[in-house]
Amino acid sequence: MTTNPGNTAEPVKPIDIRADPDAGASEPVRIALLGCGTVGAEVVRLLDEQADDLAARIGAPLELAGIAVRRPDRDRGPLPVPRELFTADAAGLIKRDDVDIVVEVVGGLEPARGWLVQALQSGKSVVTANKALLAEDTATLAAAAADGNADLYYEAAVAGAIPLLRPLRESLHGDRITRITGIVNGTTNYILSKMDSTGAGFAEALDEATELGYAEADPTADVEGFDAAAKAAILASLGFHTRVTAADVYRVGITEVTAADVASAQEMGCVVKLLCIAELRRDADGSESVSARVHPAMIPRSHPLASVGDAYNAVFVEAQAAGRLMFYGAGAGGAPTASAVLGDVVAVARNRRLGRSAVADSAYANLRVRPMGEVATRYHISLDVADRAGVLAQVAALFAEHGVSIQTVRQEGRGGAAGTGGDALLVIVTHRAPDAALRSTVDALAELDIVRQVASVMRVEGE
Amino acid sequence: MTTNPGNTAEPVKPIDIRADPDAGASEPVRIALLGCGTVGAEVVRLLDEQADDLAARIGAPLELAGIAVRRPDRDRGPLPVPRELFTADAAGLIKRDDVDIVVEVVGGLEPARGWLVQALQSGKSVVTANKALLAEDTATLAAAAADGNADLYYEAAVAGAIPLLRPLRESLHGDRITRITGIVNGTTNYILSKMDSTGAGFAEALDEATELGYAEADPTADVEGFDAAAKAAILASLGFHTRVTAADVYRVGITEVTAADVASAQEMGCVVKLLCIAELRRDADGSESVSARVHPAMIPRSHPLASVGDAYNAVFVEAQAAGRLMFYGAGAGGAPTASAVLGDVVAVARNRRLGRSAVADSAYANLRVRPMGEVATRYHISLDVADRAGVLAQVAALFAEHGVSIQTVRQEGRGGAAGTGGDALLVIVTHRAPDAALRSTVDALAELDIVRQVASVMRVEGE
């Protein structure tokens, strides 16, 4: 073995190639901050704390021109800014000549959309974490950015601090992304991880998440998958150069995931996760289409996403040349989200200083968005059936009729002895088939005399 | 549970916002390719296969102006380019007026350095995968890029296809990176994963890696850690805005890792990985310094890096605001590396088309590089000792003398019965201490009468 004593001698004298030795002398780049909640306050704090580094990286200092909030007089604790910076007049702040960049951390569709369109059209760059707005209407924002020749950046909108959108927009531009599978909602991942590790049911795990601050008082946006669906739309749009909106995303939340589903998954060597999946499909005739969906699914424990626990997020990207990639990190929280916001602020501030603008979002591929019925998935189905001869044959025939191929089937007697007319549990995992065919199979199963109950249905992903 | 039938109705008509509808009409951006081995051939193939997508993303078509190789007449199989493109005259090709971008996949210091300096100084953008050159002399390349106002991109130089350098350079620029821990060499990760799963020794695992094509005929660069050290230098430079070269990197390879070390790690709930670690340290007086090192280390199985198996790479980044991030993917191979190269090609081609250049590498922070002796680490030490009363007290006293605090100690009799003067094994894990103190402790242990042999010493990371 060779070892390199390397730097045990004198440290090597670093070469002085500063980003811009005159940084301090340059005109400041001025920011209007819209919103000062958890993320906004952290942005204010970091702007102050990292001021020197930020100035060196940009080549000019950053300055807060003003902070628009609903109640400017509210006590906000020890923020390192004078109270005069706070204003209730967001539109007036955006309009000011000395504002270069607008940072929006308010969220929601209106009035945020109007403010950002106003900013972009007047040539001010925008950094936003507003996933709901982007998922609803990136088209309007992109058009305003093009009008005003301004930058629109939104790294913080998906997967918090994880640098994900820039790699998708830029690093993988020489490749063809085929599939993006993400755990993009921390609340539901916390709940499902808890159900997996403790055997708790959904309600119990949600209670604990609420107590610990992982779930909001009204958890609907998280547990029903609305938050994840917005992110799915953004990821599908960027990954496939096609406008996909939240309305295009098939969505099922986790409220009906039971302790029994989680136990079933464990028996298969799987774990239940709320996945957002954006897929490219090329048909035999060469035509391409995309799909985007959010639903709970079983994935094998050996899959890199399976070990993403607690409130962490991760996004697994498959690309033709690059192969399998994964990006992992904190998906929410004030500081992580503020980190993503500030990364974007540095980028747009540099662009302004160098008199250039970023390449706009592209939707050149303009692919058809497939409805869920056409998307190929696999199902895990648990059936309570009468435990008598011929049941399996009858069930198998019904799958065949619907053109769905069975991969595995497991039968467990559980009422009286087998064959005595008691209950049995039939657990079936299918091969990939169009979702519409799988759904109609399940509907038909429910109608069979010998099926007492379709106990659970869950999609299986990750092979 | 609410569900969103969403796109079961008519698919939403996509909005036609093309990146540039006139892309086809624009002047082509022309590439000189230096080298046509595994990666180069894949670049040629992808340039052909993805031509339409690349043109749409750039706003202009890409064209190969020429390919410089040592033997232009060699048969290269079915590459989608005319033979006339091949030339042995790299310098002449770079000089041609119709060349806009130089892509270098030759590797090594010379003649690559001369070519790239020539290209950059004459204003041609460079995309390179040459980690050895970057680790040795980014300063010269960065100076040439500044001279010629040209772009220098090298995403493929570290962790193959994983989009890592762009996030470090750009996404995290609003944050403060404190530590980068990476598995950045696929060959050694394959070998160590094999040793972990089968109990094989180093030589046996290396043989298997060689047979399967994971290790080269001469594996020195990989198994001695040279390859990882080059990447450590690049990561430390980017992460800490300071020039760190390969000579600054402390380096130990994996050739002395034994099956017993791997078994010891397993007993501690750990796995042995070859890690590259770049760290920022802030002293009590506020002064900052960086360190970079490559060595095998035990990390807990619960650490996200522990489950990175086979020849995969992953880089774990800790930042002040963003928290813990991880980037995972294929670290080598023709197609993954070509994907990274092409991502850079798209970026520099866009820059050229828009008449702008990227922000140059910055070394503004210009921090001191700490020698290894000053770096705080933890050691796992196995000692063969005489099994008699007072041994542990004597060993513990020696640690105390050197100012090293013991975290855990485990004693196992293994010769005769305990206390009869046979052999025993003493396994000690320390708290963090300066590496120099740990090394002198180990040296002193070897001198103790009661110590028959220092059986193994390995660093422990990841808490």
Mean pLDDT by 10 residues, chain B (463 residues): 44 37 68 94 93 89 96 86 93 96 95 97 95 93 92 90 84 86 96 96 96 91 96 94 94 96 93 97 92 97 89 93 91 87 91 72 84 95 89 93 94 60 86 96 94 93 84
> Does B396 lie in the same domain as B288?
no
Give A70 to chain B, closest Cα distance, Å: 26
Share the mean pLDDT of chain A: 88
Contact A371 B9 (CB under 8 A): yes
- Quick check: A77 pLDDT over 60? yes
What is the model's pLDDT at position B414?
65
Q: Read off the pLDDT of residues A438-455 as tens digits, 9 standing for 90 and up.
A: 999 999 999 999 999 999
> Does A65 lie in the same domain as A138?
yes
Contact A247 B307 (CB under 8 A): no
Taking contacts as CB-CB distances below 8 angstroms, the residues of chain A near B7 are: 247-250, 291, 369-372
Contact B255 A1 (CB under 8 A): yes
CATH number at residue A186: 3.30.360.10
Domain that holds residue A400: 375-460
What is the model's pLDDT at position A387?
82
Closest-CA residue to A29 (of A246, A439, A325, A346): A346
Give A327 to chain B, closest Cα distance, Å: 5
Half-sphere exposure in the Cβ direction for B292 (13 Å, CA): 31
> Does B228 lie in the same domain as B123?
no
> Does A277 lie in the same domain as A191?
yes
What is the model's pLDDT at position B388?
83
Task: Please check if B447 is assigned to a binding site.
Answer: no
What is the model's pLDDT at position B314?
95
**Annotated active-site residue in A124, A194, A231, A273:** A231
DSSP assigned state of A429: E
Amino acid identity, position A62: L
What is the model's pLDDT at position B362?
74
Look at residue B10 and tell me if it is in a domain.
no
> Does B183 lie in the same domain as B143?
no
Size of interface A-B (CB pairs under 8 A): 348
The count of other CB atoms within 10 Å of the CB of residue A314 is: 25
**Which of the residues B339, B362, B374 would you substitute to probe the A interface, choosing the one with the greatest number of A C-beta atoms within 10 Å?**
B339
- What b/e sequence results for B83-107 when a residue is b if at least 16 CB atoms lie within 10 Å of its CB, and e otherwise? eebbeeebeebbeeeebbbbbbbbb
Using the Cβ of B174 and the Cβ atoms of chain A, whether some distance falls under 8 Å is answered with: yes
Taking contacts as CB-CB distances below 8 angstroms, the residues of chain B near A139 are: 15, 17
Taking contacts as CB-CB distances below 8 angstroms, the residues of chain A near B155 are: 171
- Quick check: A15 pLDDT over 80? no
Contact B56 A364 (CB under 8 A): yes
Q: Read off the pLDDT of residues A334-367 as tens digits, 9 standing for 90 and up.
A: 888 999 999 999 989 988 887 766 666 677 888 9
Task: Please check if B131 is assigned to a binding site.
Answer: yes
What is the model's pLDDT at position A291?
97
What is the model's pLDDT at position B358?
65
Q: Which residues contact B303 (CB under 8 A, 6 or more apart)?
A: B316, B462
Look at residue A13 and tell me if it is in a domain.
no
SS3 A1: coil
Taking contacts as CB-CB distances below 8 angstroms, the residues of chain A near B2 are: 224, 253
Q: Which residues contact A458 (CB under 8 A, 6 or more apart)?
A: A257, A261, A264, A265, A272, A296, A297, A298, A379, A380
List all residues of chain A from 223 to 282 with a beta carbon under 8 Å from chain B: 224, 229, 241-243, 245, 247-253, 255-256
H, E, C per residue of A204-268: HHHHHHHHCCCCCCCCHHHHCCHHHHHHHHHHHHHHHCCCCCHHHCEEECCCCCCHHHHHHHHHC
What is the model's pLDDT at position A420?
53
Percent of chain A residues past pLDDT 70, beyond the cut: 91
Look at residue B311 and tell me if it is in a domain.
yes
Q: Is residue A13 annotated as a catalytic residue, yes or no?
A: no
What is the model's pLDDT at position A13?
36
What is the model's pLDDT at position A302?
84
Using the Cβ of B301 and the Cβ atoms of chain A, whether some distance falls under 8 Å is answered with: no
Percent of chain B residues past pLDDT 90, beyond the cut: 69
Look at residue B194 and tell me if it is in a domain.
yes
Contact A173 B370 (CB under 8 A): no
> Does B308 lie in the same domain as B220?
yes
> Does A169 lie in the same domain as A294?
yes
CATH number at residue B124: 3.40.50.720
Residue of A nearest to B176 (CA): A50
> Does A59 lie in the same domain as A36?
yes
Q: How far apart are CA A65 and CA A98, in angstroms?
A: 7
**Omega prior to A111 cis, within 30 of 0:** yes
Q: Which residue has the tokens 């009661």?
A: B450
Using the Cβ of B6 and the Cβ atoms of chain A, whether some distance falls under 8 Å is answered with: yes
Contact A174 B342 (CB under 8 A): yes
Number of domains in chain A: 3
Q: How far apart are CA B227 and CA B182, in angstroms?
A: 13
> Does B181 lie in the same domain as B139?
no
Using the Cβ of B143 and the Cβ atoms of chain A, whether some distance falls under 8 Å is answered with: yes
The count of other CB atoms within 10 Å of the CB of residue B315 is: 28
What is the model's pLDDT at position B374?
94
Edge-to-edge strand list for the sheet holding B62-68: B86-87, B62-68, B29-34, B101-104, B125-128, B152-153
> Does A267 lie in the same domain as A171?
yes
